[in-house]
Amino acid sequence: MIIDFNHAKKVATGCLAMTSCAFLLWVSQNNAQADSTQETPLVQVNSATVNTNSQNASSESSVNSVDQGNYANLDNVQINDNGQLQVSGWHATNASQSRPYHYLIVMNKDNNTEIARQNISDQEVSRPDVAAVHNVYGANQSGFNATFNLSNQIANLNQVQLISR
């Protein structure tokens, strides 16, 4: 998922000051993209209508073990007044079955360096809507909410990439 700060920087530079308000306005007007490491978009963040009345399709005993899909969506991205990147979304795949951990990693897209990392394994969010659509391991608890403090780096960032692993 790539979050591009170039437009917000141009707006802020034109006003002679980079403010978090400019970032909030920019982030609220743009979509983020979930990217693979090959720069090919996997998921475009959009609103989706999901039937939440369906039965939980991902109870661990009834998952479709042959489904090799890697499903994810970034539901919300924003920079708050304190320069913190707040993200929420979900990530579900059968490949997570043998990996009892879930990390979110923020990378500087310009130079591919890591800015921050969080182990969110114990902070799963219930997502029965995801389980109703994707019958893969852990889909029912595939949601996440995280906050990354970028206040010290934001002035030097053009784009950040969010990786869910």
Chain segment 125-160, per-residue pLDDT in tens? 999 999 999 999 999 999 999 999 999 998 889 999
The residues that bridge with 132 in the sheet, in sequence order, are none
Cβ pair 137, 97 in contact under 8 A = yes
Query: d(Cα 15, Cα 13) in Å, to the nearest integer?
Result: 5
H/E stretch holding 92: strand 84-93
Q: What are phi and psi of 92, to 5 degrees?
A: -135, 135
At 8, is the pLDDT very low, low, confident or very high (cuts 50, 70, 90)? low
Q: Is the pLDDT of residue 26 over 60?
A: no
For the segment 63-81, the average pLDDT, to the nearest whole number, is: 91
| pLDDT for the residue numbered 155 | 87
CA distances 35 to 65, 100, 106, 116, Å, are 24, 23, 13, 18
Of 104 and 29, the structure prediction assigns the larger pLDDT to 104
Amino acid, single-letter form, for residue 146? A
For the segment 37-56, the average pLDDT, to the nearest whole number, is: 33
Show the DSSP H helices in the chain as ranges: 6-14, 20-29, 128-133
At 97, is the pLDDT very low, low, confident or very high (cuts 50, 70, 90)? confident
For the segment 3-27, the average pLDDT, to the nearest whole number, is: 43
Query: d(Cα 101, Cα 97) in Å, to the nearest integer?
Result: 10
| pLDDT for the residue numbered 99 | 87
Of 123 and 54, the structure prediction assigns the larger pLDDT to 123
Query: pTM for the whole thing?
Result: 0.64
At 93, is the pLDDT very low, low, confident or very high (cuts 50, 70, 90)? very high
| pLDDT for the residue numbered 6 | 61
For the segment 8-22, the average pLDDT, to the nearest whole number, is: 39
Q: What are phi and psi of 59, to 5 degrees?
A: -60, 140
